[in-house]
Amino acid sequence: MARLVMKFGGTSVANIERIRNVAAHVRREVEAGYQVAVVVSAMSGKTNELVGWVQDSSKIYDPREYDAVVASGEQVTSGLLALVLQEMGIPARSWQGWQVPVLTSDAHGSARIESIDPARLNAGFAKGEVAVIAGFQGMHAETGRLTTLGRGGSDTSAVAVAAAIGAERCDIYTDVDGVYTTDPRVVPKARKLDKVSFEEMLEMASLGSKVLQVRSVEIAMLHKVRTFVRSSFDDPADPRPGTLICEEEEIVEQQVVTGIAFSKDEAQITLRRVADKPGVAAAIFGPLADQNINVDMIIQVVSGNTGNGESMTTDMTFTVQAADYERAMALLTKLKLQIAYQAIEGATDVVKISAIGVGMRSHAGVAARAFRALAEKGVNIRAITTSEIKFSVLIDKDYTELAVRTLHSLYGLDKVA
């Protein structure tokens, strides 16, 4: 019998009425002959509330107890959905991460799934039972402690379960009807994509699109899990397919640019007049890496030769995640003498805007067109990075909407009215 994973996000299970609606979607697939594993999130807002309670209880909290608390949201919804399915006459049971078991690393709060043994789930399928699995949680085998997978981690649970049980596909039900060319709240002319490649989706998720957790796309790509993003608010009797995330070869009509992502989660740091000699980059970025601070865009400019025998200096500008900004500034300030720079400057009112498309591999000048279009709108670019299938620009936050809309039109992504 073919198998299917259906994942439902927080808004889709926000109350009992919505959980009944979810159960109607599940019933449709059971009646179509699938063996179904459902992965559920916590009710919307629940995880935030639980995180808040942890923070109120303890300033520097034990991450193992954080996991014990925040994983409970998913425990509730898995039990509730199993009850509602049973009441509809569909055999079902709930599974906590440790019961499956979903084994993870011990990085509490952002653990990685290491393995999922499908044996117990298989035994349930053999009995004709729907498996309702609590997303977002697992267990570290050596310590036996409960872990969670990082915010948005139920997506990752779902794709990993799909890979483990050999599901034909993984349907991620959410409150939007698919993956869009950009955020429709910013660009009303954004279009829903029918298909998007794993690689593009991975870039979109990494560069700010909030539809899927990055790790879920990595797993889908690695195990070639055909993954759909679709709406749980469609009529359960007549749902639309949503957006398919699949291999590039399956996509016939390929655009040069597939989507525009943006992230306001950025901060810029500039070190002025750093000695321009071998080892400076290591002196700056080594200590940041040691503190687990990820650096993204880096620009180094030669800022001049004094002409009177003093050595050359350079300006070094780079970006870090906004959440790491204070830590990075404090660390670099402490290392001022060691790194030997003259001044440090920082900015948090910045946004990173990225254009993504596998078509960039075979087309030249794609980014150059964007630089021209942004210049014409008077948008100043603070930093640029490019790679094979994307480029990103860092600009002032105030220009977010203007820049996203400009690029969206430039690459022909606007919906035709």
Q: Among 97, 152, 259, 357, which residue interacts with ligand ASP (rule: CB under 6 A)? A: 152
> Is 288 in contact with 245 (CB distance < 8 Å)?
no
Residue 233: alpha-carbon gap to chain centroid: 22
Taking CB within 5 to 8 Å according to partner kind, which of ligand ASP, Mg ion, none is near residue 42?
ligand ASP
Under the binding rule (CB under 6 A), the answer on residue 66 touching ligand ASP is no
d(CA 246, CA 415): 23
Residue number, 136 or 318, with CB nearest to ligand ASP: 136
Residue number, 152 or 357, with CB nearest to Mg ion: 152
CA distances in angstroms from 273 to 296, 337, 345, listed in the order given:
21, 13, 12
Which of 56, 103, 57, 49 has its CA nearest to residue 73?
49
Provide CB contacts within 8 A for 376, sequence distance 6+: none
Taking the complex as a whole, how short is the minimal distance between the CB of residue 213 and ligand ASP, in angstroms? 7
Residue 100: alpha-carbon gap to chain centroid: 25
Under the binding rule (CB under 6 A), the answer on residue 97 touching ligand ASP is no
- 76-84, 91-99, 152-160, 174-182 -> range binding ligand ASP (CB under 6 A): 152-160
Under the binding rule (CB under 6 A), the answer on residue 136 touching ligand ASP is yes
Taking CB within 5 to 8 Å according to partner kind, which of ligand ASP, Mg ion, none is near residue 208?
none
- 146-154, 229-237, 340-348, 387-395 -> range binding ligand ASP (CB under 6 A): 146-154
Q: In what helix (H) or strand (E) does residue 265 lie, and over which residues does it extend?
A: strand 259-275
Taking the complex as a whole, how short is the minimal distance between the CB of residue 42 and ligand ASP, in angstroms? 4
Under the binding rule (CB under 5 A), the answer on residue 153 touching Mg ion is no
Residue number, 41 or 258, with CB nearest to ligand ASP: 41
- C-beta neighbour count of 294 within 10 angstroms: 11
DSSP 8-state assignment for residue 212: S
Under the binding rule (CB under 5 A), the answer on residue 152 touching Mg ion is yes
Taking the complex as a whole, how short is the minimal distance between the CB of residue 43 and Mg ion, in angstroms? 13
Q: Among 21, 94, 104, 154, which residue interacts with ligand ASP (rule: CB under 6 A)? A: 154
Q: What is the DSSP string of 311-365?
A: PPEEEEEEEEEGGGHHHHHHHHHHTHHHHT-SEEEEEEEEEEEEEE-GGGGT-SS
Helices (H) and strands (E) in the chain, counts: 13, 18
Residues 355-414 touching ligand ASP, rule: CB under 6 A, are none
> What does the binding site for ligand ASP look like in residue numbers (CB under 6 A)?
9-10, 41-42, 47, 73, 135-136, 151-155
> What does the binding site for Mg ion look like in residue numbers (CB under 5 A)?
9, 152
